[in-house]
Amino acid sequence: MNTSNKISNKERIAIIEKSAKQVGKPVVHAILIIVVSFIPVFLLTGQEGKLFHPLAWTKTLVMASSMILAITLIPVLMVLLMRGKMRPESKNPVSNFFVRLYEPVLSWCLKWKKTVLTVNIIALVLSVFLLTRMGSEFMPPLDEGTILFMPVALPDASNAEMKRILQVQDKIISSFPEVKNVLGKAGRINSATDNAPISMVETIVLLKPKNEWRAGMTKDKIISQLNEKLQIPGVTNGWTQPIINRINMLSTGIRTDVGVKIFGQNLDTIYRLGQMIAGELKGIKGIADLYPEQITGGKYLNIEVNKDAIGRYGLTTDDVNSIVQSALGGMNVGQIYQGRERFSVNVRLAQDWRGSLDDIKGTLVQTKNGPLPLSDVASISLKDGPSMISSENALLRGTVLFDVRGRDLGGTVKEAMQKLDKTLTLPKGYFINWSGQWENQLHAQKTLELIIPVAILLILLILYFTFHDLRDAFNTLLSVPFAFVGGILMVYLWGENLSVAVAVGFIALFGVAVETGVVMMIYLEEAMQRMVREKGTAVDVATLRHYVLEGAVKRLRPKLMTVCVALFGLVPVLWSNGTGIELMRPVALPMIGGMVTSAISILLVMPIIFELFKENELKKYGSIKVKDSL
C-alpha cells in the first residue's frame, strides 16, 4: 500500500475491508481443505484410530478457531492498529533480500519452462522409486522404558524346574548394570483372563535412566546381550514390552510382533503343520524368537478303574473316584467366613505322598477286608496330550510366533509369505492367517487406500469452488505430489519405515501444502486483474510474463511466512528426546521435507503452469479472462 500521500480514515478502512474480502473466502476454503485432508485420520479405527484421533480433533478445532479469528478479529485489529506512517513492502529489508534472490531464479524458470518441469517430473519419479525401496511397519516401536522377557519352556516342565529356571534367569538379568529391578512369574495369576501355563514365564525388567547406562549402550544392545546370556536348553526366549504386549494379546491374540495362525480340526495335524512352518521360516532375515506353539507334549495322569477287581473287593467306581479326588484333586470339606467373603476348605494328600507315580499307585483304598493300594483296583499311567487347547471362530487353532528385529516388519512378513506359498501344502480343511502387527497394518492400509483418494477429490472440489476455474484448482493441487517428493526423501534419509504415523504426517502435509498454493494463486489472479485493468485487451506474451512475475515476486513474504511458520514449529521435533518421540518424529519428518519441496514447487512450478494456461487462453481467445473476485 502506498502511504506517501495521506489518506483519510474512511479510505484506510475501505482499503482494509477490501484486502480482508480479497483473502477472506480463500482463507476459509484453505482451512476447510486442511480439515477435509484429515478425514482419513478420523476414519481410522482400532489401535491406530485411538492413537491419532486426539491429534486430528486438536488440529481441526485449532484450525477452525483460527479461521473464525482470521475473518472476524483480525480485520478489527487491523483497523485499530494499522495507523500512522507505514513502510511499503519495497522498504522491508528482509522481504527485499528474498525478492532479490527469487526474482532472477523465477525469471530463468519461466524462460526455461520445459527444463524446469522435466526436472520436477524426474524428481517425482525418483521419489516413487525410493518409496518402493522403503520398509513398512504398522507403527513405530514406542520405547516404554521397560522390557518384558517372555521365555517358554517345554510343556511337561515341572513346577520345581520352572522355579529353578525363573531364579536363574532373574539372577542373570539383575547382573546387568543397566537393570534396576527384575520381577518374574511363571504360569498364570489368579484371574480367568490369564490362561498362561506353568511353562510360560513373564519377567518385567525395569531399566535405569539412560544417563546411568554404559557408554554406547542402547536398548536393542541390552536385549541382544541379555538374549545371549539367557540361552537355556529347552527354553525359547521372547522379548517385547509390557504395554504393547497386552495390546497385541487383546487385539489379535498374539503376544509377539507377528504370528501365523493355523486352523483345522485335528490338534496333531495342526502341531505338525506348525513345526513345518517354523522350519520354513527359520533363517529368514529379520525373524527372531521363532516359537511354534507346543500344542502337544502335555503330561496327563490316566487312572482307569478295573471293574473286575473292584467287583471282587465289593467296591464301586464312585468309591475309587472319591479316593482319587480326596487324595489327588482335593475335596471341599467346608467353608471359612471372613465378613462377606467365603473361602472353601480343600483337603488332599501332602505333596510328599503324591509326588511320583509310585506314590500315587500306593494310595490306599479302604475295603471291607482292609486297605488296598490303588494300583490293585485301577491301572495308573502317564499319557501325552495337548498342553493347552486354543480355538477361534469355532475352529481349533495353533500358532507359530516370532518377533521382527533388524528389519522392517512388512518386508520380513512378505518374504515369509512368499516362501510359504511356494513350499507349504495344507491338507484339505486347514488354512493359515497372518496375525499380530501385520494384521493391524493391513487393516490401516486398506482404510487409507480407500479414503485418501476421496479426500483428494473433495479438496479438488473445494479448490474449484474457490477459484471457479478447474485449471487453477488443478494447478494448486499440484503442490501435493511435489510435497510428496520432499516427504519421501526426508523419511528415506532419516531411515524411517513407512507406517501409519508417516501416513498421518503426509495427510497433514497435503493440507498445509494446498493452503500455501492457495495463497500463491490469490496473488497470481490479483496480478491478472491488475493487468486487464491497466492494459485492457492489448496483452501479449511479454506483458503476461511481466504480470505473472509481479504477482509471484511482489507478494513473496506471505508465502514464505506460511511455509516458515510450519517448519519452525516442526524442526525441533527432529532432535527432541523423551517418551513418545518415536511416534511424533515419523509424523513430523514428511511434513518438514514436504514443506520444503512444496514451497519450491509453489514458488517456481506453479507460476510456470499458470503462465502456460494463460498463454493457451491468450492464443485461443485473443484475451485473458479474469474473475471479478475470488
Q: What is the CATH number of the domain that holds 523?
A: 1.20.1640.10
Average pLDDT value for residue range 88-97: 74
Q: What kind and span of H or E run contains 315?
A: none
Containing domain of residue 329, as a range? 299-386
Task: Give yes or no: residues 354 and 500 share one domain.
Answer: no
Closest of 234, 213, 233 to residue 225, by C-alpha: 213
- Say if 231 falls within a structural domain: no
Tracing cell 492400509 back to the chain, one arrives at 445
- pLDDT at residue 2, rounded to an integer: 46
Tracing cell 524442526 back to the chain, one arrives at 571
Average pLDDT value for residue range 184-205: 79
- Say if 349 falls within a structural domain: yes
630, pLDDT greater than 90? no
Q: CA-to-CA distance for 90 and 550, rounded, in angstroms?
A: 13
Which of 327, 358, 386 marks a domain boundary? 386
- Say if 277 falls within a structural domain: no
- pLDDT at residue 537, rounded to an integer: 67
Residue range 344-397, pLDDT digits in tens: 888 888 888 888 888 888 888 888 888 889 888 899 888 887 877 888 888 899
> Taking a C-beta distance cutoff of 8 angstroms, is the pair 573, 585 a contact?
yes
Task: Give yes or no: residues 369 and 503 share one domain.
Answer: no
- Say if 400 falls within a structural domain: no
- Say if 552 falls within a structural domain: yes
pTM of the predicted structure, to 2 decimals? 0.78
- Say if 356 falls within a structural domain: yes
- pLDDT at residue 623, rounded to an integer: 72
Task: Give yes or no: residues 501 and 373 share one domain.
Answer: no
- pLDDT at residue 431, rounded to an integer: 92
Tracing cell 522379548 back to the chain, one arrives at 239
> Taking a C-beta distance cutoff of 8 angstroms, is the pair 595, 513 a contact?
yes
Q: How many domains does the chain have?
A: 2
- At residue 1 the predicted structure's pLDDT band, cuts being 50, 70 and 90, is very low
Task: Name 379's bridge partners.
Answer: 304
- Say if 333 falls within a structural domain: yes
Average pLDDT value for residue range 526-542: 79
CA-to-CA separations, 242 to 48, 66, 185, 204, 206, in angstroms, rounded:
18, 40, 14, 8, 11
Closest of 532, 499, 493, 522 to residue 606, by C-alpha: 522
Task: Give yes or no: residues 612 and 481 share one domain.
Answer: yes
Task: Give yes or no: residues 490 and 354 share one domain.
Answer: no
Which of 386, 403, 423 marks a domain boundary? 386
Helices (H), 38-158: 39-42, 46-81, 93-111, 113-132
> Which residues are CB-contacts of 495 (< 8 A; sequence separation ≥ 6)?
none
- At residue 3 the predicted structure's pLDDT band, cuts being 50, 70 and 90, is very low
CA-to-CA separations, 116 to 120, 395, 609, in angstroms, rounded:
6, 61, 11
- pLDDT at residue 522, rounded to an integer: 82
> Taking a C-beta distance cutoff of 8 angstroms, is the pair 448, 138 a contact?
no
Q: CA-to-CA distance for 593 and 597, rounded, in angstroms?
A: 7
94, pLDDT greater than 80? no
- Say if 49 falls within a structural domain: no
Q: What share of the chain is helix, strand, coil (3-state, %, to 5)?
A: 60, 15, 25
- DSSP-based three-state secondary structure for 179: strand
156, pLDDT greater than 50? yes
Percent of the chain clearing pLDDT 70 (strictly above): 96
Which of 366, 386, 406 marks a domain boundary? 386
- DSSP-based three-state secondary structure for 377: coil
- pLDDT at residue 37, rounded to an integer: 82
> What average pLDDT does the structure give for the chain?
84
> Taking a C-beta distance cutoff of 8 angstroms, is the pair 149, 160 a contact?
no
Task: Give yes or no: residues 353 and 476 share one domain.
Answer: no
Task: Give yes or no: residues 472 and 586 share one domain.
Answer: yes
Q: CA-to-CA distance for 616 and 622, rounded, in angstroms?
A: 9
Between 540 and 578, name the one with better pLDDT.
Answer: 540
User: At 304, which CATH number?
Assistant: 3.30.2090.10
